[in-house]
Each structure stands twice: as C-alpha cells, then as structure tokens.
A and B are shown apart, each in its own frame.
Chain A
Amino acid sequence: MSSPVKGGPEVVLRLAGISKRFGPLLANDNISLTLHAGEVLALLGENGAGKTTLMNILFGHYVADEGTIEAFGRPLPPGSPRAALEAGIGMVHQHFTLADNLSVLDNIAVGTELLWRWRSDRGAARRRLLDLSQRFGLEVRPDAPVGELSVGERQRAEILKALYRDARILILDEPTAVLTPQESAGLFETLRRLTADGLAVVFISHKMNEVFAASDTVAVLRAGKLVATHATASTDRAKLAELMVGRSVKPPAPAPLSPGEPVLELAGVTVASGHGRPLLDRVDLTVCRHQVVGIAGVSGNGQTALAELVSGLIRPDSGRLSLKGSVVEHGDPADMVRRGVARIPEDRHSAGLVGTMAVWENLIAERYRDSSFSRLGVLRRSAARAYAREVIEEFDVRCPGPDARTQLLSGGNMQKLILGRTLAHGPDLILASQPTRGLDIGAVSYVHSRLLDARAAGAGILLISEDLDEILALADCVTVAYHGRLTPLLPHDRVSVSQLGLLMAGHWDILRDILPETVHAA
C-alpha cells in the first residue's frame, strides 16, 4: 500500500466541467468536484439527477461529452475502465457485477494477471484475498460460487474486488439499497476502516440519514447540475432535502381510514421452489379494503413469489388464496384481472410493457378481448386509440400520443402508463411491487397519491417495497418477509426502523416485544 495520510489531506480526484448528454437528456451539466484522501463524499440526489452517470463516466463506462478527470494529479484517459482501475479507482456497482457461476476468488482475480501467462497463480491470489479480508474485516468464502452468496456477502466480495486491485478511491453506487439497516451500519463501519487507511470514498445515495451517518462532505446533484457542496457537519436534513428537490417536500399523509371487509386472504399458502426451502412457506395474510399492507424484507425472501402468486403467474402448492371471499382455484393473470386485481409489476420494462409496441397497444394489453376493444377477433383500433387518449389525459402520461412507441417514454411515464392500465377500472385489490423504484421525486409522489386515492376509494393495497421509508409512509400495517415466511401484521405506528431491520435479518424473537399479545399465536 502507498503513502499514509500526512499533513494536509492530499487531493486524490478532481473532476472539472463534466457534461454528458443522452439524446435530448442532459444527464450531467458542467460538474466539478474534488475528493481528498481519507474523505467520504456523499453524492446525494434524486433518481435521475445524474449521480450514476457521473460515476460511470469517472469509471470509464461512459465517455463525457466535455470535461476532464484527474486522479492523483494525472489526467485519466476517458472511456476505459482499465485506465480507471490502474489509476486506483474501484467501483462497486448498484447491480453487482459478479458472475454467479464463478467462484468468489475467480470473480476477484479475473483480469488482474497478464492474460497470456501460461498458468494462473491461484495460491498467491487466495493468500492476498484472505489477507485483505482479515485486514478490513470483510468476511468471504473464496471458493463459494457467487450464486450461493447472500446480498451482504456479494457486496463484501465487490469491495474486496476493488481493494484487491489496490484501489485508493472507492465508488459505491447506492450501496445500502439492498441491505438491512444493521447491514448498512456494518458497511459504514467498513468505510471508516478504509478511510483510516487513507482511502477516499464516494458513495451515491438518495437517502438523507445515510449521508449523516457516513459522510464527511456532501455534494448535491439536481437535474444533472451540482447545486451545492457542504461539509456534512455544517448542514441539516431540511436544507439538503430542499437542495435535492428544489422545493420543500411533504411526505404523503394517508388519511386514517378504518379497514373494510377483506379483499385478499392467504391461508397457509406454500409455494415450493423445486429445490431446498420453499419460496413461500405457510403464509397467512389478509388485506382489507381501505388498507395498505406493506411487505418489508431483503429481496429474495419470498416477495417475488408472493407478487407472482397474486398476479396469477404461479399457483399455491398448498393452502388457499381467496379474493373478495371466494377461493381462487386456477388463477391465471387474465382471471386475476377479471376478479378486480390491479397488478403493478416489479420490473416495468421486462414484465410490465412491450417496449416496441405503441402506447395504445400496451394500454389494452389486459383487456383486448373485451367487446369494447375487439369484435369477432378483429381489433377495434379507433376505439382503442380513443380509450388510450383518455387514459393518457387522466393519468398525465407525457407522450406524443397513443401511437408513440412505449420504449421512448421516461421511467416515470411508463409507470403512469401501467397505473392507467390497471387503476382506470376501479380495482378491489392493488398489488404494487416496487412501485417507485428508480423514479424521480415528482413521479414518486404522483404514484403515492394515486395509490392513496385508490385506497380511499375502497381498494386494498399490497405494497411490496425494498424502501423502508416508503413502506412506513404509506402502509397501515407492515409484515416482514424472511425465508419465505411472513410475520404477523404489525401496525405501522408500533414498529421502528431498527426493529424492522432486525426482523428482516431473521431475529423474530423481538416480535415478543412488539406484539406481546400474539406471541403464542406466532
């Protein structure tokens, strides 16, 4: 390792006048930043503010249209991850860049040796990895295939990957998005060890509390522009929030409503996975009218199976699913739509919409067999277009018209399109999977207000989200998914973030403290 920190902190990274355009979108607008050794810089901003683009330019995934980057006093050639790595920059991507079928050691060692050596020196690689892992308290299993690792382990492997290559500047893109609050705390502890060793860290976030928990300096991006840089200690939440959004924001405030009759009931539902533990394991859950039930949990604990079950894509292997009091025997997506379920899929690009088809064609996708849209197998195209125009108007979808190709819409407008497709028919139950993931603040509050309107109108809502803040803001009751099981419903005002974090990590013994009266039942 190179020089320890001496005297004043050395400038390790300097970005000057970075601009980047994607088609009509100005993703980065003349951004300049400096980073010092031993510093943690939080890059704060809404989704779509340009944080990830900026870091991808820094790491050479994209080439900036304008501007220069200097690392350790030397200009960094653009567009080359290799050059960034050689300059001592390591990046931990939001979606981990690990190959599932290869071992941790393979993933870390690949590309670190000259390609044309006649054999890989695995022994030396293993020793070096274990040494780093000990020094920074990052525990990993070198020979385990990455596919078998937990999310936390994968992140440790990613960080080790950067350290293995002598990174002196570490970029972390939304590192806590997939962690429990306790795991996040562990990550911040790791960051402190790293900066004590003289590394500089940039971490990208849109969560305020993390900025205060972990950073020395905070830079705020808004709509591609750097709007402020502050020492974290000299600022406060309200100020940062306003900088980030450009106006003061009010969190959604659901009006208190008493729950009506049940619309969705799961009784002892099990979904087998084909190997090992079931995806859903004897799950009981009730969602009533006028009620938002939030499902919290680290991804991969059964939320996807639950969403697919309520979407009609899979069926329970045992147990019962009822809608509005009647048992669903052979559910399929079309049946669920007919029974009044509005389904907002987790991944709007791959499951929600057909990108190459027109807006109107996507809007009728769940109902094209209705007599209003087709007769004797012939599409009523003008009726469908007229309907599309209404929905576009009603749900404020910004697009050139019903014939526009869907893939040209922004993420927020795609989500409005899906809301329009599903909510326009007065649903009884809404399944909202990650309804605001990746959306900017305007779209987020639009989605939230639409969901709350539907709740007021009598729909029950099953909200599955990785964003605890979202769940706590919207849900009347929360349940935590862990290993395919669900906790009993917890009233949102009786559970704290840290308690949710413990439940998400499987410490269900604390249920005793939250719900003393149901201990015996659970």
Chain B
Amino acid sequence: MRLEPRTDTPLALRLLAPVGAVVAALALCALLVAWTGAPVLRAYGLLFEGAIGSRFALTETLTRATPLILTGLAAAVAFRAKLWNIGAEGQLYMGALAAVVVGGGMLDLPAWALIPAVMIAGMAAGGVTLLGPAVLKVRFGVDEVVTTLLLNFVVLLLVSLLLEGALKDPMGMGWPQSAPVVEAAELPKLVARTRLHAGLAIALGLSVLLWLIDTRTIWGYENRAVGANPRAAAFAGMPVTRVMLRTALLSGGLAGLAGAAEVCGLKGYLTLDLSPGFGYSGIVVAMLAQLHPIGVVGAALFIAGIFVGADAMSRAMPVPNYIADVLVATSLLCMLVAGLLARYRLRRG
C-alpha cells in the first residue's frame, strides 16, 4: 500500500474529515466505556444530554467553549506559521495574572474603559510570554516545543508564588487565591442567571477577524507564505523573522486573553485550578479545525460539549470523567489520520 497525494482536496472531504475523526474517536472510546461495565449507548446518551440537552447544559457548554475558542485560535495561528506553541496553558495563566493585577483595583476606571484595559493587559502578558521562546528560536535556533512546554511549569510556579505572597487575598481564609477583580472589570453576562459571559462574543468576533486577516490582508498573506515555505518567503523578500515574532505575540496574546476572560467573566479571581488544561485542549481544537479560524469555533464547541457532558455522565454512572480527556486525545489522533486521508489517497503497490 502506498499514499499518493491528491491533486486537490474537495471541500466536502475537508469538512468530512473532522466528522469522521470524531465518530472514530467515539467508537474507540466506546470500547473503554464498555470495559467499565457501563451500557455504552446510555452513557453516550447521558453525555449528549449533559452537553446540549437543556438550556442550562447549552449555556454551560458555551461557557466552557469560550476559553477553548481562544486557545484554539492561539494554537491555530501559531501552527500555521510552524511555530509550535505548546505553551498556551502558561500564557493563559500569565493573562489571568495580568487581569487580576490590572483589574484588581489598580486602575479606577469605568467599565467601558477598564474591561478593554484588562483584556489588553492579559493579551500583552500572554504575548510576551511566548515572545521569549520565539526569540530564542529565531536568534539561537532553540526548539520552541520544549521551551514553551517547560515555561508552563515555570508560570504555574510563579502563579503559586504570587498567590501565596503578593497577590494573596487577605479575605481568602488562607486559600492560595487572589483578591477578586473590581466590579467594573467584570465582563457582562450574555444570558441572565447563567454563567455565560461576554467573553464568548469576544472569542467569536476574533475568529471572524482572524479569518479576514488571514485571507484578505498582506499580513495574512505573509503569514501563510512564511508558514508554508519560509525559505521561499525570505527569498521573495518577506520579513520572516518579523512574521515569526508577530505570530508569537498574537498567539500568546490569544491564550492570555483566554485567561483574562476566564477571570473577568467567570471566576472573578485567580486560583491555581483556573484552567483544566485549556491550553493543551486548544491544540486539539486547532487540529480538528484544520487550523481554520472559523472551524475553531465548531471544534471548540465539540470539545467543550465533551467535557461538560462527561461531567454529567460521570455523576450518573461509574465512568470516571477522565473519559472526556481520553476522548479528546483520541479525537486528536484520529483527526491526524483523517486529515491525511483527505490529503492523500491510498494506492496499492
């Protein structure tokens, strides 16, 4: 058997690939569910219901999707430029850190000014966090995969340090958590009496904006060229290093924004368990979306649904909710294969 590149990939195939991957992942994980002794169909039924079965479930899924869209975009823009940013988790925490600092009473501004200031501070913190590894990559040739991964641990320790020190909430009864952000820094709710907040609108707006930049502007043009063939881009006269650094700022900024939005929209303060791995799930989101900014929205909704639904399912039957993480990981691997099948055809001999 041999793989032969297709001369072109029809749109239907590109859309079908993630669907096929998800179905395959669900089927594979059904074996795992069956192994626990739980009835598979009922388990998946509960998962489905828990994700979108009610108004409450739906808003929960949308709330959970908000940071995933942003970290998914962070991974997508970076991977497009072949900048392997695996550090979205750390950048997210840096953004959250900036949000509690700037939004914690440091600035006395009305909401219309404070919210943008806090969001921009979060983006800046995340962007600068990725700028370091990006500079090491272009200046010294240091592989950014390892540096961004290692920085995740450094950032978490930094957050822990600050939460037990300078940023510790005096009213927090000894828990390592920050003081809450001021009311003017809180993102408004989208639907009353739910947890759904304006972060979702920001995330959706950004994915459309990024798609427009990607296809319509010389920025996007340069990004695509540099990502696909940096040598040819440099030969043609494109500023390859600048594109790399710009992409790093943007990617880190999106992850940082995810953190700021979680703090200001949902939690109100910063703790060490702000993110259950949004940074890593963002990679899966980006891959399922085939790095397309609009596709990221759909992929993030799916992943969010899995997490929210699995929580509901594991409350009802003895299937640990880690099944969601297994499903997400399996989806990623299945998506890689599906993407390959969309780009190549199998040939004998």
Contacts and interface: CB of A to CB of B under 8 A. Distances in A.
A350 B232 contact: yes
Contacts of A313: 234-235
B7 A333 contact: no
Given A378-B217, A405-B8, A354 B235 contact: no
B217 A351 contact: no
Interface in B210-232: 216-219, 221, 224-225, 228-229, 231-232
Contact of A355 (B228, B234, B236): B228
A23 B4 contact: yes
B237 interface: yes
A333 B236 contact: yes
A365 B218 contact: no
Contacts of A163: none
A12 B219 CA distance: 61
B317 interface: no
For chain A, give the interface size range: 35 or more
Interface in A391-418: 405, 408
Nearest to A65: B349
A351 B264 CA distance: 47
A111 interface: no
Contacts of A361: 221, 224-225
A79 B349 contact: yes
Nearest to A308: B235
Interface string B235-249: 111100000000000
Contacts of B233: 354, 365
A301 B238 CA distance: 28
A374 interface: yes
Interface string A315-356: 000000000000000001110110000010100001111111
A354 B349 contact: no
B221 A351 contact: no
A369 interface: yes
B216 A379 contact: yes
Nearest to B220: A379
B232 A356 contact: no
Contacts of B219: 377
Contacts, number: 72
Contacts of A381: 216
Nearest to A384: B221
A334 B218 CA distance: 15
Nearest to A381: B216
A311 interface: yes
A435 to B, nearest CB: 15
B221 A379 contact: yes
Contact of A345 (B216, B218, B235, B349): B235
B296 to A, nearest CB: 20
B24 to A, nearest CB: 26
For chain B, give the interface size range: 20 to 34
A486 interface: no
B192 to A, nearest CB: 40
Which of A353, A365, A374 neighbours the largest number of chain B CB atoms within 10 Å of its CB?
A: A365
Contacts of B235: 311, 313, 333, 343, 345, 351-352
Nearest to A334: B237
A143 interface: no
Contact of A63 (B217, B232, B349): B349
Given A351-B231, A357-B228, A408 B7 contact: yes
A115 B221 CA distance: 50
Interface string A287-317: 0000000000000000000000001110000
A387 interface: no
A188 interface: no
Nearest to A353: B232
A21 B210 CA distance: 42
A508 interface: no
Contacts of A351: 231-232, 235
A242 interface: no
Nearest to A333: B237
B348 to A, nearest CB: 9
Nearest to B7: A408
Contact of A368 (B8, B216, B221, B228): B221
Contacts of B238: 365
Contacts of A357: 224-225, 228
Interface string B2-19: 001001100000000000
A366 interface: yes
Contacts of B228: 354-357
A368 B220 CA distance: 12
Contacts of A334: 237
Contacts of A79: 349
Contacts of A378: 216-218
Contacts of A337: 237
Given A333-B236, A352-B235, A354-B232, A23 B7 contact: yes
Nearest to A366: B236
A355 B233 CA distance: 11
Given A332-B237, A351-B235, A365 B225 contact: yes
A380 B216 CA distance: 8
A512 to B, nearest CB: 40
Contacts of B225: 354, 357, 361, 365
Which of A332, A345, A379 neighbours the largest number of chain B CB atoms within 10 Å of its CB?
A: A379
Given A368-B221, A378-B216, A352 B232 contact: yes
Interface string A23-55: 100000000000000000000000000000000
A354 B229 contact: yes
A350 B237 contact: no
A368 B7 contact: no
Nearest to A375: B218
B218 A377 contact: yes
Contacts of A365: 225, 232-233, 236-238
A368 to B, nearest CB: 6
A44 B219 CA distance: 48
Contacts of B229: 350, 353-356
Interface string A180-220: 00000000000000000000000000000000000000000
B327 to A, nearest CB: 31
B10 to A, nearest CB: 13
Nearest to B232: A354
Nearest to B222: A368
Contacts of A356: 228-229
Contacts of B4: 23
Contacts of A355: 228-229
A332 B239 CA distance: 10
A352 to B, nearest CB: 6
5 contacts: A355-B229, A356-B229, A365-B237, A378-B216, A379-B217
Interface of A: 23, 63, 65, 78-79, 311-313, 332-334, 336-337, 343, 345, 350-357, 361, 365-366, 368-369, 374, 377-379, 381, 405, 408
Given A354-B224, A377-B217, A378-B216, 18 more contacts: A23-B4, A65-B349, A78-B349, A311-B235, A313-B234, A313-B235, A332-B237, A333-B237, A336-B237, A343-B235, A350-B231, A354-B233, A355-B228, A357-B224, A365-B238, A377-B219, A378-B217, A379-B221
